Structure 1
Amino acid sequence: MKLLYVLPNLNVGGVSRVVNELATGMMQNEHQVIIVTLNEHYRQVRILNNIKIIELKVKYKKDLLRGILKLINIIKFEKPDIVHSHTVYSHIFVRVAKIFCTKPKYIASEHGTMNYLLSKGIGFKLMKFTNSFSDLITNVSQSSVESYVKYKIVNKNKIICVYNGIDLEEYYCLKKTHKINKILYVGRISKEKNLHLLIDFLKALPEGAYKCDIVGDGDQLEAIKQYAVSQNVENKVIFLGKRLDVPDIMKEYDILILTSFTEGLPTVLIEAIASKLLVLSTDCGGVKEILEGFEYLVVNNNDKNDLLNKFLNLEKMDLDLIRESLYQKIKNNFSKQIMISVWENIYQDIVENE
């Protein structure tokens, strides 16, 4: 099969990493793969050299028509069997192109959980209006699927859950420690990630025993730095900025904490577990689907006391047993190999059902 993936960019982020794993896996299984990005980017995820990457270079509103025309020409020239778009504005571009390129099958994949405010945004209104242009719509967790149905973005008979997966070998690390002193956060520093909760949690920890490093960048970076200063936790937290060596970084820590208000299926949790880190996460999106059976690692949303209590209680448990049990769970459910196999079957079914 010939597969054309469309996404905003290949900068650091969960969507980019997942599309990279999907594209490289399909290429290794002898499918033809092309990646189209809406924006210019720095290609901060590692892409196989033999995967063709095309930038539409849509930066301003005036670039929209030119970008759509370019995408139409790409589809007509490359003649893919499947056009697989990721995130809402990629879907809109692809659906306009479908008016002129009807032969490929079109799949739209969302990577997040819907809420009331998001559902009122122009992008999701357009998505709702044009869903008939896609042959299939997917999301990354059952919780996220249900949220799109709840807010009437997608009809329940049009959308399915397909879990993301990662290359477990890239992250695997043997760990034998009975302490959880070194704390890690990896992700965007933005409002929905709720880093204020992380700072409040750090403030409540005993002095001198714990250290937290924050990896990532975003529009809330300076605000969170200032909040850390205002809460007098500068001696407990270090901001490492955007990093491309996350698999290596993770191997140096004991636990990853995720404080988000909302997520789809947080890939960073799966990556941390693959690195044999312990994890604690707020109850958002598909977190409970990753941590099913490990409810003591799931924290009430925006609840500092619950986060603190569950963190301190972990030190009384068999940490090696928890790490190994978590690893076996993601190995059985969230590996790259499983994801590739599931998507290959979906592609085959949708192409054959002409």
Structure 2
Amino acid sequence: MKVIQIINSLNTGGAEKLLLDTIPLYRKEGIEMDVLVFWNNNHQFINALKALNCCRVIVLKESDNYKDIYNPLNILKLRKFLKNYDIAHVHLFPAQYYTVIANLLIGGKCKLIFTEHNTTNRRIQKSYFKVIETFVYARYKKIVCISEEIHNIYKQYIPKHLRKFNVINNGVNLNAILNAKPFQNKMDINSNIKNTNSIILQVSAFRAQKDQKTLIRALGLLPKKFILLLVGEGETRKECELLVSELLLADRVFFLGQRMDIPQLLRTADIVVLSSKYEGMSLSSIEGMASGKPFIASDVPGLSDIVRGAGVLFEEGNSQELAQNISRLIEDSSLYKEIVRSCQERAELFNIDRMISNHITLYKEVYET
């Protein structure tokens, strides 16, 4: 059984990071697995995967233009590789559509699985996409929903394909976080950070969905001892940098870009936050809860179910409530410790080994049909 993972790129993102973390583990379990990306611009995740030398990494286009992801020529390039594999496990749009077309061009020789990572997207919100979406989903043998919430949404959206749906929660390598050692000095992250500073950390791509602006505004309501670390890259970073400048927070907000030392940063932070407008089942939220630090998230689809009863939830976009929650945790050491304990217990439910086992069972089922 030969499996290929297909995704737009291995730039910053939860689905992208998941492939970096899991492909070596699938290989360890005896699954012959490679990865194909439509586009690469010297991304750290793909460089890290290549350095592991555990699989073939196929890149359809090396360039500095992310729009190459959408180039229809990717379909023709993809079909040349697709025919060499028994199963293609696909992630995100447009890979979702292009893989279906490429497979049709080779007579449907490859069996397709698609993972639905988000509770919403632009297509599901537009009725005229329904016919196209129904056609596309019909070409997949199985559709993996990474949470029950996503499953409930899509079984209403495309009820015709209910039998294809499987719920497999994303997983996190909890040991990598628990065993990570914090920076000995906070100034090792940036020379302008003091050991007396309280560090707030958010790890997420810069997209409108992630809403870093709410967190930046919350920082402006907090005492000067609080500083904010923002890890990631993306199209809204410049907007966030402008907001930081407008609010005179340039000496308190640090844009760290894409990092490979996330576990160490998590262990060094005082509070971990995710201020998204929606999620699928956020790996960052699970990593945040596993970190040994309190985790705060917006009360939105894809985060509410995971965090409620463990971490702290705040109203989406409400920077004042977010700031109040941060202050309360820092000032109340008993509450701080209780939230840490409950977060770590919740994170245990999302161990990466469970996810790997469930996926391998699914691959075998699809392969044998």
1:141-165 deviation line (CA, Å, top 9, x unaligned):
2222333345559854433322111
Moved more, 148-157 or 240-249: 148-157
Match of 1:284 in 2: 300
Alpha-carbon distance between aligned partners in 1 of 2:256 and 2:26, rounded to the nearest angstrom: 33
Cα distance change on mapping 1:279 and 1:252 into 2, 3 Å: same
Shift of 1:260: 1.0
Alpha-carbon distance between aligned partners in 1 of 2:282 and 2:358, rounded to the nearest angstrom: 19
Alpha-carbon distance between aligned partners in 1 of 2:16 and 2:313, rounded to the nearest angstrom: 26
Shift of 1:267: 0.9
Cα distance change on mapping 1:348 and 1:311 into 2, 3 Å: same
Contact between 1:165 and 1:339, CA under 8 Å: does it hold in 2?
A: yes
Match of 1:273 among 286, 289, 310: 289
Shift of 1:39: 1.3
1:287-311 deviation line (CA, Å, top 9, x unaligned):
13322422x6111211223323332
Shift of 1:108: 0.7
Q: Which runs of 5+ in 2 are unaligned?
A: 183-195
Alpha-carbon distance between aligned partners in 1 of 2:24 and 2:149, rounded to the nearest angstrom: 27
Cα distance change on mapping 1:321 and 1:282 into 2, 3 Å: same
Moved more, 153-162 or 95-104: 153-162
Alpha-carbon distance between aligned partners in 1 of 2:120 and 2:336, rounded to the nearest angstrom: 34
Match of 1:329 in 2: 346
Moved more, 311-320 or 56-65: 56-65
1:63-99 deviation line (CA, Å, top 9, x unaligned):
523x3233222122x2x23211001211212111221
Alpha-carbon distance between aligned partners in 1 of 2:86 and 2:273, rounded to the nearest angstrom: 41
- Scaled by the length of structure 1, the TM-score of the pair is 0.87
Contact between 2:38 and 2:68, CA under 8 Å: does it hold in 1?
A: no
**Residue type at the aligned position of 2:200:** I
Alpha-carbon distance between aligned partners in 2 of 1:221 and 1:125, rounded to the nearest angstrom: 35
Match of 1:297 among 312, 317, 323: 312
Secondary structure, in 3 states, of the residue corresponding to 1:50?
coil
Q: Does 1:219 align with 2:235?
A: yes
Alpha-carbon distance between aligned partners in 2 of 1:339 and 1:321, rounded to the nearest angstrom: 28
Match of 1:166 in 2: 172
Contact between 1:189 and 1:220, CA under 8 Å: does it hold in 2?
A: yes
Q: How many pairs are equivalent?
A: 344
Cα distance change on mapping 1:27 and 1:115 into 2, 3 Å: closer
Contact between 1:183 and 1:212, CA under 8 Å: does it hold in 2?
A: yes
Aligned structure 1 segments of 4 or more residues deviating by more than 6 angstroms: 121-125
Please list, as runs of the form range in 1=range in 2, the aligned pairs for 1:3-152 lying within 5 A after superposition.
Answer: 3-45=3-45, 46-47=48-49, 48-57=52-61, 60=68, 63-65=71-73, 67-76=74-83, 78=84, 80-99=85-104, 100-114=106-120, 119-120=125-126, 126-152=132-158
Secondary structure, in 3 states, of the residue corresponding to 1:88?
coil
Cα distance change on mapping 1:87 and 1:62 into 2, 3 Å: closer
Contact between 1:188 and 1:217, CA under 8 Å: does it hold in 2?
A: yes
Please list, as runs of the form range in 1=range in 2, the aligned pairs for 1:176-255 lying within 5 A after superposition.
Answer: 181-205=198-222, 207-255=223-271
Alpha-carbon distance between aligned partners in 2 of 1:109 and 1:146, rounded to the nearest angstrom: 14
- Scaled by the length of structure 2, the TM-score of the pair is 0.84
Match of 1:307 in 2: 322
Contact between 2:207 and 2:234, CA under 8 Å: does it hold in 1?
A: yes
Identity of aligned residues (%): 24
